[in-house]
Amino acid sequence: MTDQIQDTQIPTQMAVAVAPPIPKKRRVTPLQWLSQYSWRHVIMIIAAAYALFPVVYVVGAAFNPLSSIGQTIWPEHPSLENFRSLLDNPTQPFVSWYKNGLAVSVAAAFLNVLLGACAAYAFSRFRFKGRKAGMMTLLFAQMFPSFLALTAIYLIMGQIQDVLPAIGLNTLLGLTLVYLAGAMGVNAWFLKGFFDTVPMELDESAKVDGATHSQIFWGIVMPLSSPVLAVSALLGFTGTLNEYILASRLIQSSEKYTLAQGLYQYINGQYDQRWGTFSAGALLAGIPVILIFLVLQRRIVSGLTQGSVKG
């Protein structure tokens, strides 16, 4: 009996005896830190200063009451005069331009993601004749910038104006539809690459349970692809909000200007270039981009931490 008790106690004693000691953290001397790690901080500070300098310069110009780009980064007597001039000018309705730009950008980003996701799901999951040729055609079409087709787009929108005035020239809805041309190009390829990483076993198990393709698309593929959908929506929103060439040709009425068109009015005059007011508008234009980036960044992090096969 005593031998059995001793046998049962031996493993415990051995486990305690062979437990490795906790290693002590090696202290780094100031000289070692300067020689090994200081150069990284120097490079980081230089890169941050290089990236933040234009932003600081624009902020300084926005608060410069002279409404011009001065010789100093920050004005001696900062004020909100440029913002008052921006928001209280009845001849140049900045608030209306702001709303138009946000409406077109949000609608174009949403529809771009939706159409691109539908096309990417078809190319990723289905096998049909002309699949490879269709994908290569979409890729080949993206080699040419959109402004090369500006003349053709203008003529087409002018003919549509005679039949459907609601989506013709000088309409925000027509401009939004023109922006959707990029949904079937880069977005389709971009989203297809991510859809290919979603395991086909999930689709097969859902089909066994009686799920249709639309249920698989909305219930499985789309939730698991939230990171790439967020990135695609962010890129589509910022690209549309900053677009000027197409909007300047398709929108002629001042009250229907987009945000980029409206801001250009402050610096296109030969003797009336209000850089301070323009900088104030640029700061206000950056607010929705920053907010949407922060919101979608949380979605990206949560989507990456939730695996499709995690129990």
How far apart are alpha carbons 167 and 152 in whole angstroms? 16
Say if CB 179 and CB 239 are below 8 A apart: no
Q: What does pLDDT average to over the chain?
A: 81
Q: What is the pTM of this model?
A: 0.78
pLDDT over 90 at 254, yes or no: no
Give the CA distances from residue 47 to residues 43, 44, 51, 87, 225, in Å, rounded to whole numbers and listed in that order: 6, 5, 6, 35, 32
Q: Which residues have CB under 8 Å from 306's CB, separation 6+? A: none
Cα 307 vs. chain centroid, distance in angstroms? 23
- The string of pLDDT tens digits covering residues 31-54 is 777 777 778 888 889 998 888 888
φ and ψ at 93, to 5 degrees?
-75, 85
| pLDDT confidence band for 2 (50 / 70 / 90) | very low
Residue 114 is predicted with a pLDDT of 92
Residue 1 is predicted with a pLDDT of 47
- Radius of gyration in angstroms for the set of CA atoms belonging to the chain, rounded to a whole number: 29
User: In the block, which residue shows the tokens 């493993």?
Assistant: 11
Residue 12 is predicted with a pLDDT of 46
Q: Which residue has the higher pLDDT, 297 or 209?
A: 209
Tokens for 112? 């771009």
Residue 14 is predicted with a pLDDT of 47
Q: Which residue has the higher pLDDT, 164 or 25?
A: 164
Say if CB 246 and CB 175 are below 8 A apart: yes
Instruction: Provide the percentage of residues in the chain whose pLDDT is more than 90.
Output: 18
pLDDT over 60 at 311, yes or no: no
Domain ranges of the chain: 93-265
**CATH number of the 93-265 domain:** 1.10.3720.10
| pLDDT confidence band for 77 (50 / 70 / 90) | confident
